[in-house]
Structure 1
């Protein structure tokens, strides 16, 4: 709560305050009229490249703002992304976030979105959020995360090996695949930076820079 209340960005859900009683803590949050992005993705199956690029650009801008303040979110997933009345994306749920200039050791987040360094119980930094952008870009375009498997151990194995495959359908552009493969890199120091994501041809060709999806 202390982290989120100090973040003021158009693509981050505002936390205005909180209060509590004997049993619960109540958060006073910005209202996101259109609810979870997860529900929208499940309803549509997958997003168009223009929609996906607009969401990825909005996320990238918000994460760049967070990283400047040394905040790592660590749990970016469709369930933690909300849409306002105009369809503008808002990052929510900072329960796993941390504010730190040094590398962290805690394994946290959600199975399909974990970066290899977390799966291997190594120290991590802000680059885990960059990895998750690659996961989300893939999921937005194909409807499911790339390393999903029958069991937790199989998912971990696919993440560790970066066992990345692009299905034949739906057909997506070479530029979209290029962005995904440059983010889903095992060596965290070699993942595409947030600035380079914003400058990537796929983002420039497809994203609505106002951040609103039609």
Structure 2
């Protein structure tokens, strides 16, 4: 446990989150004998949130409390913190209930504001709160309330009782999903990323741990700590067809591979062999009729080294700068892991993993036997040169047209029957231990 979590526990009056204990009510939090004042901000669009389900008990409960409150706001004292769900580098997630509102539960993500500031040194970065306030999509979190003190920030978002895909995969036979289940989860992730890119945001942290399963079995992409958005972001949002090709931004040569930007041991990987492979002629992919919607941010560039080692794109590892194409690389790793139960470039340690990402060719396990379209999609997503990677110019549109997704009704994804519907949630489903072996990890 990080030291700052002890301070948070003090601020929350040394609450216990053991599954055998009762929920703790909080009226006022204190730290080192001095009062900590919390303020709440709620999106002004609560009554008209397009994707908020009708009769959502959380919105209804918040409205009721606001109407009964003298100052018209929701405070920390209106919540019961039931149990710890998980913890990460800069925060902890708790299961919280709204007092007097049956069935109204939240995932309360409490973060150290100083740590947030240190993580936000990149000039164009945004806090997770700012990102979530921009987003409104059925496969993305709904930000209900933002509670703030001088030291902490607490985001109340939807609680997903199904846990994450990392844990769900480990509970499958042979610790992997069948191809139909992977197609379902991957298609919903593609649509979520398409919307995020349309908003000019690069997600940068796709992995099974960050894809949660809602009570209805559909997914929610979560944890936007590493997301990047430019101040004046533009995107290539347009309708294109065979007769109206997309307007592609001019190609910019990447910076020279300098020793200062090489983070691999002894700079063992030369740039030329990694990022300018010999081009191979491919069959022209058959295009389905009708115009396509293309939305890829084109002016969002970063030199930051961010992400999970096994999911890092080669351009991040090399330090040459990256854009939205990193999200399509991570989609390839994501699909590979769901199908095979492992990631393709994992080494004995982090340094070897990074070296493999840049230098080693993609290889597929012999088992399980996988159909050609699945392998081809992964291969095109895991092209080391981001300019040639599937999705880099035509975005999600090119990925949707891949044969692996044949039969997917993109307009009616939410009407598709999910491969797994989580059972009703009880506190016993989650251990109080927030370490890596937690049965269900929400963070």
**TM-score, L = length of structure 2:** 0.47
Task: Identify the residue that residue 199 of structure 1 maps to in structure 2.
Answer: 401
User: Could you give the per-residue CA deviations for residues 85-131 of structure 1, whole angstroms, max 9, x where no partner exists?
Assistant: 11111100000001123311111011000000000011100000000
Tell me whether 119-128 or 4-13 shows the greater mean CA deviation: 4-13
CA distance in 2, matches of 1:59, 1:178: 18
Task: Identify the residue that residue 12 of structure 1 maps to in structure 2.
Answer: 140
Structure 2 vs 1, CA of residues 105 and 142 (structure 1 numbering), >3 Å: closer, same or farther? same
CA distance in 2, matches of 1:93, 1:39: 16
Q: Which runs of 5+ in 1 are unaligned?
A: none
Deviation of residue 26 (structure 1)? 1.4
CA distance in 2, matches of 1:68, 1:33: 29
Tell me whether 128-137 or 10-19 shows the greater mean CA deviation: 10-19
CA distance in 2, matches of 1:68, 1:159: 28
Structure 1 residue 163 corresponds to structure 2 residue 163: no
Deviation of residue 19 (structure 1)? 0.6
Task: Identify the residue that residue 138 of structure 1 maps to in structure 2.
Answer: 336
CA distance in 2, matches of 1:2, 1:198: 29
CA distance in 2, matches of 1:111, 1:207: 33
Structure 1 residue 80 corresponds to structure 2 residue 210: yes
Tell me whether 141-150 or 201-210 shows the greater mean CA deviation: 201-210
Alignment of 1:48-127 (within 5 A): 48-100=178-230, 101-127=299-325
User: Could you give the per-residue CA deviations for residues 4-32 of structure 1, whole angstroms, max 9, x where no partner exists?
Assistant: 12111111122222112354321110121
Superposed CA RMSD in Å reads 1.6
Deviation of residue 134 (structure 1)? 0.3
Please tell me whether the aligned partners of residues 70 and 99 of structure 1 are also in contact (alpha carbons under 8 angstroms).
yes
Task: Decide which structure has the larger Cα Rg and report it.
Answer: 2
Q: What is the aligned counterpart of 1:25 among 148, 153, 161?
A: 153
Larger relative helix fraction? 1
Structure 2 vs 1, CA of residues 24 and 102 (structure 1 numbering), >3 Å: closer, same or farther? closer
Please tell me whether the aligned partners of residues 202 and 300 of structure 2 are also in contact (alpha carbons under 8 angstroms).
no
Please tell me whether the aligned partners of residues 15 and 28 of structure 1 are also in contact (alpha carbons under 8 angstroms).
yes
Higher relative contact order (CA 8 A, sep 6+): 1
Alignment of 1:180-195 (within 5 A): 180-193=378-391, 194-195=396-397
Task: Identify the residue that residue 167 of structure 2 maps to in structure 1.
Answer: 39
SS at match of 1:38: helix
CA distance in 2, matches of 1:47, 1:162: 25
Please tell me whether the aligned partners of residues 162 and 184 of structure 1 are also in contact (alpha carbons under 8 angstroms).
no
Please tell me whether the aligned partners of residues 229 and 300 of structure 2 are also in contact (alpha carbons under 8 angstroms).
no
CA distance in 1, matches of 2:146, 2:310: 31
SS at match of 2:161: coil
Structure 2 vs 1, CA of residues 207 and 164 (structure 1 numbering), >3 Å: closer, same or farther? farther
CA distance in 2, matches of 1:163, 1:8: 38
Deviation of residue 162 (structure 1)? 4.4
Deviation of residue 205 (structure 1)? 4.1
Q: Which runs of 5+ in 2 are unaligned?
A: 1-128, 231-298, 420-443
SS at match of 1:35: coil
Please tell me whether the aligned partners of residues 104 and 123 of structure 1 are also in contact (alpha carbons under 8 angstroms).
yes
Task: Identify the residue that residue 213 of structure 1 maps to in structure 2.
Answer: 418
SS at match of 1:17: strand
